[in-house]
Amino acid sequence: HPSNLQMEENSGLRAANCRAKGGAPGFKVAILGAAGGIGQPLAMLMKINPLVSVLHLYDVVNSPGVTADISHMDTGAVVRGFLGQPQLESALTGMDLVIIPAGVPRKPGMTRDDLFKINAGIVKTLCEGVAKCCPNAIVNLISNPVNSTVPIAAEVFKKSGTYDPKRLLGVTTLDVVRANTFVAEVLGLDPREVDVPVVGGHSGVTILPLLSQVKPPCTLTKEESEYLTNRIQNGGTEVVEAKAGAGSATLSMAYAAVKFADACLRGLRGDAGVVECAFVASQVTELPFFASKVRLGRTGAEEIYQLGPLNEYERVGLEKAKTELAGSIQKGISFIWK
């Protein structure tokens, strides 16, 4: 008699083969850090996503439990779990999209940069795996400090000769999600109708909402603009303090990560006009990386949009953002070449 485990494996394989034969459209997606506060709801939401045919859940702890749980959902994606460094390569082989929320979160009183010491090494190791096993995959990097972890990933890929700047995207969608929510609140609108570009980076003053470009067009007072900019820049800290030591944003982040991953997959599928903000290699400013609107296509971030007209308040904000960003980017690059 085959063991239960064998039967499960066989039926999983049958399901995967059957879907493959049917030519079901779908992409292979891995989540690294899948058992974490972001990873678990992100895995659940990706299991529901009709663009996903195979979902690999990797973590250094608890991924078997999360995988067993998620795999019982009667949606299309076939789910497989991977535990610990020896299984990283199997988790990554053949993937089209790799989403990385692995690493420690903040506690009250910490900055995102305080996470560098631990998360820099984690991101380095995981990106070495990507370079080796799925060098053509799109990477969505969530681990903080994003302003430094994206440069780290770029250097790892350069070292291994696999770097394509179009395929490396730092996830800043949560800043846009917050901006849409807070601006809608002030204007008395439904947040689904509001679109706020947020540029720069993902930390404090580097988070620069362009309130002069809000859609639908609106007029905000100086006080409203200052209140909103401040609230958007400190949205992460607001959650860290409310959670009082139990971590940072996980549920809104999982929502934002899926919004962004879904946009990347629609781009890969060839949909036209898919545009999101992301922290990418950029020539929009003199800095090597910058967050701005990008058009997502079959090869990743295919077009990076200029910032457009800024008002005086935003121009001052941009200078502050660039000063801090320059240091964070350099810190990431130096980590790899030290």
User: Is 253 marked as a binding-site residue?
Assistant: yes
Say how far apart CA 22 and CA 169 lie, in whole Å: 32
Q: Which stretch binds ligand LMR (CB under 6 A): 87-95, 181-189, 233-241, 277-285?
A: 233-241
Say how far apart CA 173 and CA 176 lie, in whole Å: 5
- The least CB distance from residue 105 to ligand NAD, in Å, is 4
**Binding partner of 36, given ligand LMR, ligand NAD, none, CB within 5-8 angstroms per partner class:** ligand NAD
User: Is 49 marked as a binding-site residue?
Assistant: no
At position 272, the amino acid (one-letter code) is A
Indicate whether 59 belongs to the interface with ligand NAD (CB under 6 A).
yes
Q: Is the dihedral of CA 272, 277, 280, 282 positive or negative?
A: positive
CB-based contacts of 290, cutoff 8 Å, min separation 6 = 199, 200, 201, 279, 280, 282, 284, 325
Q: Which of 35, 100, 174, 211 binds ligand LMR (CB under 6 A)?
A: 174
Q: What is the DSSP letter of 215?
A: B
* Catalytic positions, written as ranges: 202
| 282 contacts 290 by C-beta, under 8 angstroms | yes
Say how far apart CA 298 and CA 27 lie, in whole Å: 12
Q: Kindly state the number of chain residues that form the binding site for ligand LMR, as judged by CB under 6 A.
A: 11
Indicate whether 33 belongs to the interface with ligand NAD (CB under 6 A).
yes
What's the chain's Rg over C-alpha atoms? Answer: 20
| 29 contacts 43 by C-beta, under 8 angstroms | no
- The least CB distance from residue 155 to ligand NAD, in Å, is 18
User: Is 317 marked as a binding-site residue?
Assistant: no
Angle among Cα 94, 100, 106 to the nearest 5 degrees reads 170
Q: Which stretch binds ligand NAD (CB under 6 A): 136-144, 270-278, 298-306, 324-332?
A: 136-144
- The least CB distance from residue 238 to ligand LMR, in Å, is 8
User: Is 140 marked as a binding-site residue?
Assistant: no
Q: Which residue do the tokens 């990283």 mark?
A: 88
Say how far apart CA 176 and CA 171 lie, in whole Å: 10
Measure CA 331 to chain center. 20
User: Is 178 marked as a binding-site residue?
Assistant: yes
Q: Which of 31, 38, 176, 258 binds ligand NAD (CB under 6 A)?
A: 38
Q: Which stretch binds ligand NAD (CB under 6 A): 55-63, 72-80, 89-97, 263-271?
A: 55-63
Indicate whether 122 belongs to the interface with ligand NAD (CB under 6 A).
yes
- The footprint of ligand NAD on residues 143-202 (CB under 6 A) is 143-144, 146, 171, 174, 202
**Binding partner of 239, given ligand NAD, ligand LMR, none, CB within 5-8 angstroms per partner class:** ligand LMR
Q: Which of 79, 126, 249, 325 binds ligand LMR (CB under 6 A)?
A: 249
DSSP string, 234-271: THHHHHHHHHTTS-S--HHHHHHHHHHHHHHHHHHHT-
Binding string to ligand LMR for residues 7 to 26, with x set by CB under 6 A, is what? --------------------
Q: Which of 60, 110, 218, 284 binds ligand NAD (CB under 6 A)?
A: 60
- The footprint of ligand NAD on residues 224-263 (CB under 6 A) is 247-250, 253
User: Is 231 marked as a binding-site residue?
Assistant: no
Measured from the CB atom, the residue of 19 and 259 that comes closer to ligand NAD is 259
CB-based contacts of 231, cutoff 8 Å, min separation 6 = 178, 182, 238
Written as six digits, the tokens of 18 are: 């059957």
Q: Which stretch binds ligand LMR (CB under 6 A): 44-52, 131-139, 232-240, 293-301?
A: 232-240
Q: Which stretch binds ligand NAD (CB under 6 A): 2-10, 91-99, 114-122, 131-139?
A: 114-122
Separate counts of helices (H) and strands (E) for the chain: 11, 11
Residues of the shown chain interacting with ligand LMR in the complex, contacts defined by CB under 6 A = 105-106, 112, 144, 174, 235-236, 239-240, 248-249
